[in-house]
Amino acid sequence: MKIHRLAALPLFLIFLLPLALSLALILPVFADAAAFKALLNHPQFWGAAGLTLFTGLVSTALSLICALMIIAGRIDKPPQAGAMLALPHLSLAIGLSLLIMPAGLLARIIALPFGWTSPPQWVTTQDPYGLALMAALVLKETPFLVWAFASLLNRDDLRQSFAGQRAVARSLGHRPASLFLRVIAPQLLKRTVWPLVAVLAYSLTVVDMAIVIGPTQPPTLAQLIWTDLNDAEPATAARGAAGVLTLCAGILLLLMVVGLSIRLGRPHTGKWLSGPPGTGLHKISFLTQIWGLWSLFYSAIVILLLFQSASGLWPFPNLLPEDFTLSAWVKLLSDGGPLLTSFLLALATATTALVATVVWLEGMRPSRDKILLWLSAFLLCLPSLLIGLGQYRLFLALGITGTALAMFLAHVLPVAAYVFIMLQGPYRGFDGRWQATAAGLGQQRAIFLRQIKWPMLKAPILAAFAVGFAVSIAQYVPAQLAAAGRYSTLTIEAVTLSSGGNRALVAAYGAALMALPLVVFLLAQWLSRPRWRMR
Amino acid sequence: MLSLRNVSLTLHDKALIKPFSLEIAPGKIVTVMGPSGSGKSSLLSFIGGDLDEAFTARGEILLNDERLNDLPPEKRGIARLFQDDLLFPHMTVGENLLFAVPRMPQAERIAAMRAALEQAELMGFEDRGPHTLSGGQRSRVALMRALLARPRAILLDEPFGKLDRELRVSIRGFTHAHIAERQIPALQVTHDPEDAPPGGRILKLTATGEVIDV
Amino acid sequence: MLNRRRFLALTAAGFSVRPAFAADWAAIEAEAKGQTVYFNAWAGSEQVNGYIAWAGEEAAKRFGITVEHVKITDTAEVVKRVRDEVASGKADGSVDLVWINGENFRTMKTEKLLFGPFSEALPNYQFVDVEGKATVTQDFSETVDGLEAPWGMAQLTFFADDTKVTEPPLSMAALTRFAEANPGRVSYPAPPEFHGTTFIKQMLLEAVINPSMFYKPGDGAIFSTVRAVWESMLDGLHKNCWREGKQFPKSQADVTQMVADGELLVGLTFNPNEPANLVAAGRLPSTTVAWQHKKGTIGNTHFVAIPTNANAKAAAQVFANFLLSPEAQARKNDIKVWGDPTVLDLHKLAAEEQHAFATTAMPGSVTLPGPARLEPHASWVPLVEQAWLERYGKG
């Protein structure tokens, strides 16, 4: 492969440089000893830390287990999870709480036969252990992992190699459950380390979902930090920044512990991997059929959001609102500006991030990827408020706040991080022999890329674009700061309106926020369908 | 004894293999030859139990008079070797072998694995990754892995196709010797008439789907 | 054309503008023409947003200024933005006018981030009820000093569905008894959420007979003299609260929604007309009633202020003045529009102007009003919040 130093330039300009400068501008301001002391003395700190660790680790583990089970059951035809990725975290949390809260749909269904007139005193949301939050995270992250696994299983080279390995393993006496866990799953996991890190980081730092459905006494650490960072009092904001650094350090430590225990545990895993055929695993293989639950749940969420968006007064225990009104949708659609801004920004940032990433991957040595992966994961761990503030100071110094350029830069940063994380694995996993074959046939590199490599990598490339698009749509804090009130996006409108608690309006925006990325995901899915089904 | 009775194979209403019967005695290797796309490999898939749904196969597969048709692949006791060695890349050589050893006390499993390594002249390779092995070493591990499962029959799907000429001769000899020694009936498909053991029966698949003795 | 606009401006500004004043003001209005005011204001309510949109359209028609509503969720965002802008020397600030009060005002005032004094020089300031409403000059015990223009009045108000709460609890003690009779159906937003903090401050005021100590700076030692009583009152309430007082709703909006669902029986708000407004909007049942505690509830004023680096200071003043006009205040007061109580003294207005403020009782209006009580001095906020978190923050 030819190495071009300049290939790093686009990603450097839109990602590395802004990120480094933002951090340099924001971190020293906040990191003082008094702030850390104040953090440790916060009455809720230890409780929040414990809750965060519990919800983050358990939900990540459960998401992984569910995703593996789902893939195990449909390894020949992995489910299409892309569309589910389009549902924003916030919309999902809102939809889930509309379903399970004491005045939610489930309670209403039960209330009818039992004759309840007021909502039951269920602890279904805001439960002290964060179980509802964990459920929301598992519901959201499982499709993401399923999708990551599926994009591997849909790769022609891996597909063939896995098919052969499975045939061998079965001929050696291993049942499908055993061979999946021992032969396929370890190889999938090895290739999805970064998406897994992203899931863990997200679960440990999620704010918007926690606000909707998580507990308050104590809240998760991310919520605690969020409240502090939002405070106008510099000392309180500094305590929040100390919290961010603590949380980041904690995540790094956790990753190191996990990495180390995987390494130290290698002899034991090896023993398990090479275990004899005939374990009892097949007895729970019916669990691999749980994918239907996801389809069911996501459909229910979308229907519930649409229904709620058109509802007027809806007293308990009525199954239907007393009246229907389209006022929320009228409100949303009457000003097309934010919708268009969101769309154009997402299109521009996802395209730029994709091009910059491909240029990097084509031009740089694979060994250089690591730093970018770490930085991307680090960025995903940081609360958006912190990075948003740093970025904002950078824009102020450059004098570009409230300009289209600032909006673009603020959105492209997280988009680039996600696109790189999503695309790096599949792109680097591309079999180099194809290029050798093409070169052997006397083909130019440009022709090879255009006619062979990119068409073969069509699915992961389009998926990375779709993820980038969705990430751009969902940006709130950095967007809001960079816009300085000169631009509005769909998300800015949604978040500001949701603080008033008008459920119909919140639901309408939740549905609208989902619609744009959904179209892009479905389009990407359709475009990347295999030309023919492999035998 | 591996027996095929009136086995036939069709793809989209096109007869690939017309009904034929075959018996393979323990320790014997029957070789099937035929042009590409004649259905040789699919025949092995049918016997192994993972034939693609696009094909329709008829006839009975019997192993020591036990009917195998309705058993899943892992219950048939039929080992398979492919053109690719298909060693699991995430396991060490030792783990690849252990993976095939049936349930028994762990110490005995390990002893079986070490014995196999010795037979393959690969002592000391136990903790190496498969990617560090040469092509010939990998082939020997793949064969040993198949044999460790104590198969009642073995199917060879062009197992020497990717080896260079010199290696091909030695691996072929190694494989055939082990099959004969363990008295396992084997069916192999190949392009190369030299793959057939001396004096072994050779069948030919014709373009019209007939199976004839050569 | 010009004359007509001047005339309208004068009409809007009231009829008795002093001539000398008018000359200065005319200069400001002339400068304002063509400017754009970026008005940063909480945007969680369609009613508020609708009102701001109306005011912006009027300002465009009458004064030739453009008003852009910058929608925000938390005024602290604006404080931080202005601080960063000023620190980086940005003279043409992105914020021209901000909706503000309390802690955020104090921060901006202390850090000298505000333009002014300007508010008392606004022509319409003469109608402000300076004598009757102490909070228009004392924002959470911080003197306003002309750095922000009063916009509306707020007072802690409770509401419930009349069919479920036949006898509204008119004190914290009554609320505690109500909770005993209806376990699990009373709660309030978790401090430091603004309404939650106000609720525990209200508890503080009701914990003592003479609350004068709370209007002076507080500290740990002074607080310790009342802390036990305050905590035992909270304990008494919490044991029959929603989730046994081990969890609290996250926001006032959540509480309101839970009342609408029937999960909670009593809601709270800072806008006495919000319940009626929500009834009109179809979000609360028409049987809703609202009340204040018999001995009074905490009341305050909300303001608009101009950052020191605002780009359109003239237009911001013109718009602030328009917001103070009897016409704009009367419209804001209308429950069907927003229902935000006026800061003006109706007696200072002409008879027909007063008439515009006449309200007829609507479903959800406050039927049992109580007097407004001053906010405790701002130094009490961290004391009670910290104490609350220590005792109740861990579940």
CATH of the domain at C224: 3.40.190.10
**Of the ranges A182-191, B50-59, B136-145, C21-30, which one carries the lowest mean pLDDT score?**
C21-30
C282 interaction partners in chain A (CB closer than 8 Å): 312-313, 323, 325
Question: Quick one: average pLDDT of A280-289?
Answer: 73
Structure ipTM over 0.85, yes or no: yes
**C271: pLDDT strictly greater than 50:** yes
- Averaged pLDDT of chain A: 86
Looking at residue C116, its pLDDT comes to 87
In chain B, the residue whose alpha carbon lies closest to the alpha carbon of A534 is: B52
Percent of chain B residues past pLDDT 70, beyond the cut: 100
What mean pLDDT is predicted for residues A253-275?
A: 90
Q: Do A170 and B72 touch (CB under 8 A)?
A: yes
Between CA C154 and CA C269 the distance in angstroms is 9
Encoded tokens for C316? 């911001």
Please determine, for residue A397, whether its predicted confidence score (pLDDT) is greater than 90: no
Domains of chain A: 5-527 (1.10.3720.10)
Please tell me the predicted confidence (pLDDT) of residue A406.
Answer: 93
Three-class secondary structure of residue B205 per DSSP: strand
Name the pairing type of β-strands C138-139 and C142-143. Answer: antiparallel
Domain-located, residue C361: no
Residue for token digits 């299109």?
A347
Shortest CA gap B78–chain A (Å): 6
A84-127 pLDDT, tens digit per residue, is 888 888 889 888 988 999 988 899 999 988 888 889 888 888 88
Q: How distant is the Cα of B64 from the closest Cα of chain A, in angstroms?
A: 18
For the cut 60, the answer to whether the pLDDT of residue C20 exceeds it is: no
The answer, yes or no, to whether the previous bond of C168 is cis (omega within 30 of 0) is no
CB-CB under 8 Å, A278 with B103: yes
Structure tokens, A523 = 């389009």
Band of the pLDDT at A450, cuts 50, 70, 90?
Answer: confident
Q: Which of A416-430, B95-109, C169-183, C339-353 has the lowest mean pLDDT?
A: A416-430
Q: Higher-confidence residue: C395 or C229? A: C229
- C62-74 residue pLDDT tens: 999 999 999 888 8
Predicted confidence at residue C5, as pLDDT, reads 37
Closest listed residue to residue B51, CA positions, set B4, B9, B2? B9
CATH code matching the domain that covers B2-77+151-213, chosen among 3.90.1330.10, 3.40.50.300, 3.40.190.10, 3.30.1200.10: 3.40.50.300
Among the partner-chain residues C80, C192, C262, the one whose CB lies closest to the CB of A316 is C262
C12 and C133 assigned to the same domain: yes
Chain A positions touching B82 (Cβ under 8 A) are 164, 167-168
C47 with C166, same domain: the answer is no
Mutate to test the interface with A, among B88, B108, B131 (most CBs of A within 10 A): B88
CA distance C78 to C310: 12
Indicate whether C263 and C383 sit together in one domain. Answer: yes
What is the distance between the alpha carbons of residues A191 and C281, in angstroms, rounded to a whole number? 53
**Statement: residue A237 has pLDDT above 90:** no
Nearest CA in chain A to C263: A119
The single residue listed with the structure tokens 């008005």 is C39
Rounded to an integer, what is the distance from CA C301 to the centroid of its chain?
A: 5
Q: Does residue C7 have a pLDDT over 50? A: no
Task: Report yes or no: B15 and B29 within 8 Å, Cβ to Cβ.
Answer: no
Domain presence at residue C184 = yes
Written as six digits, the tokens of B4 are 């095929």
* Model pLDDT for residues A300-312, shown as the tens digit of each residue: 999 999 989 998 8
Which residue ranges does chain B devote to CATH 3.40.50.300? Answer: 2-77+151-213
Section A170-182 average pLDDT: 90
Does one domain contain both C242 and C373? yes
Q: What is the pLDDT of residue C19?
A: 43
**What CA–CA distance (Å, rounded) separates A257 from A246?**
16
- Confidence band of A532 (pLDDT split at 50, 70, 90): low
B chain contacts of residue A277, beta-carbon cutoff 8 Å? 74, 102-103
Tokens coding C215 = 């209007």
Note whether C205 and C335 are same-domain residues: no
Of C9, C77, C8, the closest CA to residue C315 belongs to: C9
Q: Do A500 and C253 touch (CB under 8 A)?
A: yes
> Given CA atoms A206, A207, A210, A215 in this order, what sign does their dihedral have?
positive
How sure is the predictor about A57, in pLDDT bands with cuts at 50, 70 and 90?
Answer: very high
Question: Residue A134: its pLDDT value, please?
Answer: 96
Q: Which residue of C has its CA nearest to A104?
A: C261
The answer on C335 and C186 residing in a single domain is no
In a domain, residue C323? The reply is: yes
Provide the number of structural domains found in chain C: 2
B49 conformational bin, left if phi > 0, alpha if psi -120 to 50, beta if neither: left
pLDDT reading at A314 higher than 90: no
- Model confidence pLDDT, tens digit, residues A495-509: 777 777 788 888 888
A497 to C284: CB separation less than 8 angstroms, yes or no: no
- C351 belongs to a structural domain: yes
pLDDT of residue A533: 52
Let me know: does A375 contact A19? Beta carbons within 8 Å: yes
C43 and A331: CB-CB below 8 Å? no
Mean pLDDT of chain C: 90
Range of weakest confidence among A357-366, A379-388, C22-31: A379-388
- Subunit contact A270:B91, Cβ cutoff 8 A: yes
Q: Which of A77, A152, A168 to mutate to test the interface with B (most CBs of B within 10 A)?
A: A168
| C279 shares its domain with C342 | no
Cα–Cα dist B31/B34, whole Å: 10
Range of the domain at C257: 157-299+366-392
Q: Is the pLDDT of residue C330 over 90?
A: yes
Whether the per-residue pLDDT at C16 is higher than 50: the answer is no
Q: How confident is the model over B144-165, as pLDDT tens digits?
A: 999 999 999 999 998 888 888 8
Going by pLDDT thresholds of 50, 70 and 90, the confidence category of residue A530 is low
Taking an 8 Å cut-off on Cβ atoms, the answer to whether A278 and B102 are in contact is yes
| Amino acid, single-letter form, for residue A286 | F
**Residue of chain B whose Cα is closest to the Cα of A177:** B74
Which residues is B5 bridged to in the sheet? B60
Residue C208 located in a structural domain:
yes
Contact call for A397 and C88, based on CB within 8 A:
yes
- Residue C15 is predicted with a pLDDT of 41
Predicted confidence band of residue A30 (pLDDT cuts 50, 70, 90): low
| Average pLDDT score over residue span A132-146 | 94
**Chain segment B75-99, per-residue pLDDT in tens:** 899 999 998 889 998 999 999 999 9
Shortest distance between the Cα of A165 and any Cα of chain B, in A, equals 6
Same domain, C238 and C384: yes
Residue pair C97/C309 in contact (Cβ under 8 Å)? The answer is: no
Distance CA C377, CA C372 (A): 15
Which of A43, A230, A503 is the closest to C394 by Cβ?
Answer: A43
The first and second tokens of residue C388, run together, are 């609350």
More confident residue, A280 or A84: A84
Percent of chain A with pLDDT over 90: 30
Which amino acid appears at position A296 of this protein?
L
Task: For residue range C81-119, list pLDDT tens digits in order.
Answer: 899 899 988 889 999 999 999 889 999 999 999 998 999
Q: Which residue has the tokens 């980086």?
A: C88
Residue C169 and residue C130 share a domain: no
Q: Are C106 and C378 in contact (CB under 8 A)?
A: yes
State which residue of chain A sits closest to B87, comparing Cα positions: A165
Determine which of A135-139, A477-481, C182-186 has the lowest per-residue pLDDT on average. Answer: A477-481
Question: Of the given ranges (B97-111, C14-28, C252-266, C369-383), which has the lowest mean pLDDT?
Answer: C14-28
pLDDT at C395 over 60: yes
**Kind of pairing between the strands at B66-67 and B55-63:** antiparallel
**In terms of domains, do C57 and C85 share one?**
yes
Q: Identify whether C295 is part of a domain.
A: yes
Determine whether the interchain pair A276/B145 forms a contact, defined as Cβ–Cβ distance below 8 Å.
no
**Rounded average pLDDT over B66-74:** 91
The helix (run of H) or strand (run of E) holding residue C373 is strand C372-373
pLDDT averaged over every residue in chain B: 91
> Where residue A31 falls among pLDDT bands split at 50, 70, 90?
low
Residues C34 and C101 in one domain: yes
Does one domain contain both C70 and C116? yes
Contacts with B151 from chain A: Cβ below 8 Å = 171
Residue A175: its H or E element: none
- What does the pLDDT average to over B93-106? 92
Average pLDDT of span B132-142: 92
pLDDT for position A334:
82
Mean pLDDT is highest, among A527-531, C189-193, C281-285, for C189-193
| C81 to A43: CB separation less than 8 angstroms, yes or no | no
Q: Considering only B33-42, C243-252, C306-315, which range has the smallest mean pLDDT? A: B33-42
Q: Averaging pLDDT over each range in A51-55, A499-503, B170-174, which range is the top one?
A: A51-55
Share of chain C above pLDDT 90, in %: 73
